[in-house]
Structure 1
Amino acid sequence: MISISTRSSCLARFLGAVIFIFFVFSTSVFSQGKFLDGYTVSLKGDTLQGLIRYEGWDESPVYIDFSSNKTSDIRKISSKEIKEFYITSVNARYKSKKIAVLNIDLSEIYTIPPSLQSKDSAVIFLREVTSGPKASLLEYINSTSATHFYIEKDSILTELIYYPFYRLIREKKYLLLYDDYKKQLPALLSDVQPIDTKIPGYSQKDLRKYIENYNEFFGGQKQINHPQDEHDFTIDFNFNGGIEGWEEPGILLKNRLTYGFGIRANLPRRFHNRYFKINLSFIPSVSDKDIYTNYGYDTKKHTLKTLEFGSGTYFGSGNIRPFVGIDFAFPFNTWRSSILGPHAGIGLYRKFNIEVSHFANLGTILSDAPFFNKPRITLSYYLNLNQLVTKK
């Protein structure tokens, strides 16, 4: 009987590990992009509704995959065939533009300053960061994932010059910078007196704010909270509460209230569904008698603490998304074993999560501790810290 029990326990651990590893590696499929509702605008201005494969591009695309419905064939559409396309659920608008390409590479070391005269051009889809009655801000991402911005005003597209580069001077390497955009901005937008004479930093957040302030003079609407487009690296602060118990040889903690807080980092672009997190959880008002089966009768109350590191991914692009990931958690004062195991759940707007974790421990595969355990079930709320910073 002992032999059968041991085999069953090992089989449960093995199957649990295999299933979890399958889920982890299957997330790579989702990084290849999913078809989302959107539309294209032809060169003649006609709109065609359909499905567009969203890649969360970390290099500005030249082609997109388009399908008129879920059953029709997929066809590639180039930036020379349409004016623009829009993907609804991620609030992403891309416009086809012909741009001059400057070959200034930060990985190279120049003996003479690199030229700002372009030798190449390309027709490519640029992402629209913001637009208004007079000016639009567009984003170009090159093959090295470096970001450059363009202003379109009166149908004229102008690159805002910002290029760091290394130059060798007297056998020493120096980091130098072309930052002509600081002179370009006042010249391009000279038809109004700016509210803020300070030149913004070369970032999406600062340039967007600057262009929106300019557009306000011509009736443009100021956006207090920008729609989440999932292109940015974001940080969330997490509050959570729920129930948790634990069982292993010598320990039998019944389900109790747990609460905690933490930080989650959300990756951008094609990895926009993926995240890393840190969480500190508490189980309050617990005595040693409540934890240990053979401890005695000590009833002094204290708070159990567990620090947790994790990563995972959401699936899909809708408002409601399932997610799965892996955690490593270790308790303060070693009141229980450390945990290396999966978490899973479902999220609403990626702000409200119902999560189940600590139900399996991969760290026990080679030990006698139970593989499956009492799950921790929590409800979490994630506060976007980026939006707090960008509020005007």
Structure 2
Amino acid sequence: MKYLFILLILLPALSFAQSNNKPGYIVTLQGDTIKGFITFKGWNTPDKIIFKNNADAVMQTYTPTKINGFGLKGGNTYQTYKGRISEDRMDLSSLSIGIDSTFSKDTVFLRVVKKGKNVTLLHYKDAIKDRFFIAEKNGPPTELIYRAYVSNIKNRTGLIETFDTKYQKQLHALRIKYRPDEAQLINAIQTAQYTEKDLVKIINKLN
């Protein structure tokens, strides 16, 4: 009876732990796809994943430097990115005076938001801010730049918060390349906010 009682207590925890292991796959540095199970903990863009290639295998940890990407069955896919990542802050209390163009070089996982024949939209989030990236066909991702900063122009309320919307210029360049005859796309890009919803609409039109 005692053992039955302990088992009844442990079953929910065991069931919960098992439910976190989702069918998925990893892509090795050699480009091979290995199917298995990924421990999913509700993350958006993780800095590492835990994977095993069958139910009885030992779980192994993979960072972006160890694999080229991974995916969850019926869920999100991720690809490894090695390159520049902007480091400017977006929260009002931490804004710089003038544009902060600092960046770091890192290797991270990017979530594939929308894949298309011409361009693909990707996303990366850390403790600093959300960032969107865009990749042309089989080319490497490039960050769509959006910065907030404090202007040194003063008015009655003090310093002015200003936005650098370079991402719109980047999208215009892609419009000229892939959809030069779609005049309506010009206004759509000019009014597009730096959000997944608005950027997906642009990506759909570019593809």
- Please confirm whether the aligned pair reaches a TM-score higher than 0.5, indicating the same fold: yes
Offset of 1:168 from its aligned partner? Answer: 6.3
1:169 to partner: Cα distance: 5.3
Question: 1:151 aligned to 2:139?
Answer: no
Q: Secondary structure at the match of 2:201?
A: helix
Which has a greater percent of helix? 2
Match of 2:145 among 129, 139, 161: 161
Please say if residues 109 and 167 of structure 1, whose CA atoms lie closer than 8 Å, have aligned partners that are also in contact.
Answer: no
Equivalent runs, 1:37-76 vs 2, <5 Å: 37-58=23-44, 60-76=45-61
Deviation string for 1:78-137 (max 9, x for gaps)? Answer: 111211111013x20010001312221224143x3133242x111000000011122100
C-alpha distance in 2 between matches for 1:56 and 1:169: 43
Change (3 A) 1:213 1:169: closer
- The structure carrying a bigger strand percent of its residues is 1
Matches within 5 A, 1:1-392: 34-58=20-44, 60-89=45-74, 91-105=75-89, 106=91, 107-110=93-96, 112-118=97-103, 120-144=104-128, 146-154=129-137, 155-166=139-150, 172-191=158-177, 192-193=179-180, 194=182, 195-198=184-187, 199=189, 200-215=192-207
Structure 1: gaps of 5 or more residues: 1-21, 216-392
- RMSD value, Cα: 2.7
Residue identity (%): 28
Q: 1:99 to 1:135 in 2, by over 3 A?
A: same
- Structure 2: state its 5+ residue gaps: 1-8
What is the letter of the counterpart of residue 133 of structure 2? Y
State TM-score, norm by structure 1.
0.43
Structure 1 position 207, deviation (Å): 0.9
Distance 1:183 1:109 in 2: 23
TM-score by length of 2: 0.78
1:188-215 Cα offsets, whole Å, 9 max, x none, are 3322223522212211112112112211
Higher relative contact order (CA 8 A, sep 6+): 2
Aligned-partner Cα distance in 2 for 1:47–1:133: 22
**Alpha-carbon distance between aligned partners in 1 of 2:43 and 2:152, rounded to the nearest angstrom:** 34
Matches of 1:159 and 1:152 in 2, distance apart? 9
CA drift at 1:167: 5.3
Q: Report the 3-state secondary structure (helix = DSSP H, G, I; strand = E; otherwise coil) of the residue aligned with 1:206.
A: helix
